[in-house]
Structure 1
């Protein structure tokens, strides 16, 4: 029997939700040649996107942002994180010519949020690399793109930093190259580990460069902060045996520390560089670049956490005819009896919030950070409506409650976590899955002109925001 208790949200601990430009705005207002990498991917392989939906209309946020900001207030958001679409914001990516219509849209969006008491938190790149730079230079494989990104960032800061105080250089900077070049799951389906690692390094360098111009431009005054949004896999070994623990450590090195260490500590792990050199897939770098990375670490860190990763030592020899891949060191492992989200295929393990919080406290100087994404994607939610047409997503309320409870426990024990943001505010487009799995506090009804309806979870989130009290199961009766 579960015993409930109430958990107080600490003073200053904020509640919010997140999305991105490409997953919400749609193509309205975009000019010829303003495709992002995501737009290009969709145009090249629309048949691979669930039921053909992609970023063409998305949630039509570009035209309906005023309506959506009102809904943000109705579901209790204190902050909203989205991105500036780099491909939309500029009309010339090399001479940094601004699309003034886009600049005005972002300016009005920021004002609309502020006027409704919602803090805007903006990311400079959430997979919106301009397609032109992908095709001309190979995207983040080129140092030229690093240079152009920093100039773009500088222009954005000049325009908006006087009223936006929380900035982020990237969202999940490891994802695109992992899916495209490491695992060859996405367009253009190329498997090349060296390219993947060069993308990783160049994004580390670009992030440090953007932080440098932010601070040199005086944008840190009046409380301005800049960070990065990472998606570390909280990784658990199958057993306490040395071979399984080593597998987890290697996974952590390639998928977590590769961005955590330079972002917070200013250094790329030497072990990682040694392994990459040994396997002829190390990125190109200079000592001057490493100095920029060292001197320009984040003020604040956003962390996206959804599900744990479990690994074990490899049980079969690596095929020597295939290129090096981090999986040389590990196999994925499925825990028997695990609780699952059957729609997304992810394990549900709320304690990962506490475990990661303790790692931040003990290994990364307990710097300020927050949960930038956490949520539950569910298919065919419209089958769960009551007589009034409101989606009854009690499973989402339970998911948020259990994860937030573990996060608050960590805060009680000294973790410097400043807030919790749900993915997502509304249902939105996901890469290739489109609208298949719904994550929002607010429904986007594709059968009814994309009209919005607050779900049961949205009303619940508002009560949580107003009361500052979370009711969830008592730890005394769990995880003995």
Structure 2
């Protein structure tokens, strides 16, 4: 049975990327590596087929091609990041690299001329490598101060062109992979550092908002926010044992950033639990006041897949450093739909469910889906005789997820739009170009040439008509 999904008035459709995953910066300048560049150099073999951020999609040189494609599709907004490590040549004294800043100016101008609203994130894993090695990155309060100075320099340089700014993209990811799970270089287990990064990034978020407000950088209609990768955690059952597991997962991976950004405070139980397990969080009343008084205008939520947990049924090694999984174990729901390439469950209902949480738990703040997408390996096998990748699986994915965003909006949640990850295929941590996400193919065998996929035509039509038809097999989300 088919039905028509109509986008609400003012609901925008866009696409996202980041600086480090697209730009490339080969041979431009020394000593401007980000943490991601440093990781790639230190552990290149961890990256699929050796592809990394050095060339990426070569967006730095070819941004006009991509903007022309954005215009052809009718893309309403494009989110990328300003690469902190490249924007400045001196992080202590906030000296701007004019070559990089000039490129970014031209890129913004090209987007605006094409009718594409640029959205700029101040940090998408691009912590300068120098600050990581010298100060321990976000474990340092000094790095918080340097970030705020960097943010102000960005506002001063681009504030007349950029309406929508974001403090971070996925602020919990790097430290979770490095210090909590030891999955990325330098493979260190240290829960104190993990929580220090969490707290200091939350502090930096609200202090950047303070500078944005007090410095008069808000242009007409301008907003400042942050982008959080919320992980909807569903309990195995309704029993209290499983529900508590889901609540604890939510506390440590979602509320740790949602609450200070939106409510201006950390959940009271967070610090109490951490202290119970000997995890120290260095905080002052002045810092907590800045967090309280400088909450976000709106929030971007990255929503990819459901997480499912159950109460922990196996013992924890008493020598293990504290980890949130002391309270839960992962659970795989029988019969779940999967994206076998990425290993993620497909569950568009996460968008609707999170929308209701924004409505009911977070003051119905304005929000939008800042990332949602489907990574697929070996997409070339779906190429037709004309050379176009027939990615109907991606079209179906997008339809179902936009549908849930629209349902959330129709249920009274202030959902303002949907942004696909990603506009083009791009480099991802370790996976590099293995899983492709883009509306636009990056042809690695032919000079990184760009080719529109079938999904690009669908996106274009949806933007033009503000509706699409959906094969309704999921039923209504209650």
Tell me the residue number matched to 1:353. Answer: 351
Which of 28, 31, 34 is matched with 1:33 structurally?
A: 31
Shift of 1:247: 0.4
Shift of 1:292: 0.4
Tell me the residue number matched to 2:445. Answer: 447
Tell me the residue number matched to 2:314. Answer: 316
The 10-residue stretch of structure 1 (280-289 or 23-32) with the greater mean CA deviation from structure 2: 23-32
Rounded to whole Å, the distance in 1 between the matches of 2:207 and 2:240 is 39
SS at the partner of 2:55?
coil
Tell me the residue number matched to 1:139. Answer: 137
SS at the partner of 2:40?
helix
Shift of 1:98: 0.5
Shift of 1:479: 6.5
Tell me the residue number matched to 1:240. Answer: 238
What is the 5 A alignment of 1:147-158?
Answer: 147-158=145-156
Which of 55, 62, 69 is matched with 1:71 structurally?
A: 69
Rounded to whole Å, the distance in 1 between the matches of 2:312 and 2:62 is 50
What is the 5 A alignment of 1:2-401?
Answer: 3-28=1-26, 30-401=28-399
Rounded to whole Å, the distance in 2 between the matches of 1:213 and 1:139 is 21
- Structure 1 residues not aligned, in runs of 5+: none
Shift of 1:97: 0.6
What does the per-residue CA deviation read over 1:184-220, in whole Å, with 9 as the maximum and x for residues that have no partner?
0000000000100000000001111110000011122
What does the per-residue CA deviation read over 1:107-150, in whole Å, with 9 as the maximum and x for residues that have no partner?
11100000000000000000000000000000000000000000
SS at the partner of 1:168?
strand
TM-score (norm 2): 0.99
SS at the partner of 1:222?
coil
Rounded to whole Å, the distance in 2 between the matches of 1:103 and 1:426 is 23
Rounded to whole Å, the distance in 1 between the matches of 2:420 and 2:231 is 17
Aligned CA distance change for structure 1 residues 405 and 85 (closer, same or farther; 3 Å): same
What does the per-residue CA deviation read over 1:252-310, in whole Å, with 9 as the maximum and x for residues that have no partner?
00000000000000001110000111111121010110000000100010000000000
Tell me the residue number matched to 1:409. Answer: 407
Rounded to whole Å, the distance in 1 between the matches of 2:296 and 2:27 is 33
Aligned CA distance change for structure 1 residues 124 and 477 (closer, same or farther; 3 Å): closer
Residues 442 and 458, structure 1, Cα contact 8 Å, conserved in 2: yes
Q: How many residues align?
A: 478
Rounded to whole Å, the distance in 1 between the matches of 2:301 and 2:422 is 14
Give structure 1 regions of 4+ aligned residues with deviation exceeding 6 angstroms.
none
Aligned CA distance change for structure 1 residues 83 and 295 (closer, same or farther; 3 Å): same
Rounded to whole Å, the distance in 2 between the matches of 1:294 and 1:127 is 25
Residues 349 and 477, structure 2, Cα contact 8 Å, conserved in 1: no
Shift of 1:223: 1.6
Shift of 1:478: 5.6
SS at the partner of 2:220?
helix
What does the per-residue CA deviation read over 1:431-455, in whole Å, with 9 as the maximum and x for residues that have no partner?
0100000000000000000000000
Shift of 1:228: 0.1
Which of 454, 457, 460 is matched with 2:455 structurally?
A: 457
Residues 141 and 200, structure 2, Cα contact 8 Å, conserved in 1: yes
Aligned CA distance change for structure 1 residues 159 and 477 (closer, same or farther; 3 Å): closer
Aligned CA distance change for structure 1 residues 446 and 80 (closer, same or farther; 3 Å): same
Residues 163 and 219, structure 2, Cα contact 8 Å, conserved in 1: no
What does the per-residue CA deviation read over 1:44-75, in whole Å, with 9 as the maximum and x for residues that have no partner?
00011000000111000000000100011122
Shift of 1:29: 6.3
Rounded to whole Å, the distance in 2 between the matches of 1:14 and 1:344 is 27
Residues 85 and 125, structure 1, Cα contact 8 Å, conserved in 2: yes
Which of 411, 420, 423 is matched with 1:422 structurally?
A: 420
